[in-house]
Amino acid sequence: MSMLMTLRVKGDPKKLEAMVAADAKRFANVSDKGKTMGATFHRFYASDDEILVVDEWPDEGSFHAFFDATPEIPQIMADAGVTEPPTITFYRKLELGDDIG
């Protein structure tokens, strides 16, 4: 069964959006690598000063292998003003019969 992964950091979402606008290929390369390493879902969300990444992976190990093998990620985080390590949490899906979508 797949796992939902959340990655939260304090950072500047506007800087992140500007980086994507300036160099979309940089982000596409990271996304493509994630797909080849097992990611089946990926989204960025933000508040005024926090960035949240939501991914779905086959298991925790697949995410860690991707994260450890992708040096672009720490550079992207630094460029977005992130100065502290991310908080990474994994969740398993509960089958309660009330899914929407």
Neighbours of 20 (CB within 10 A): 15
Q: Name the residue range of residue 83's domain.
A: 3-92
What's the number of domains the chain is made of?
1
What pLDDT is attached to residue 101? Answer: 87
Q: What is the pLDDT of residues 36-63, one digit of tens each?
A: 999 999 999 999 999 999 999 999 999 9
Q: Give pLDDT tens digits along the chain (101 positions).
A: 899 999 999 999 999 999 999 999 999 999 999 999 999 999 999 999 999 999 999 999 999 999 999 999 999 999 999 989 999 999 999 999 999 98
Which domain CATH number covers 66?
A: 3.30.70.100
Residue type, 43: R
Domain presence at residue 100: no
Domain presence at residue 35: yes
* pTM score, whole prediction: 0.92
Residue type, 62: S
Domain presence at residue 10: yes
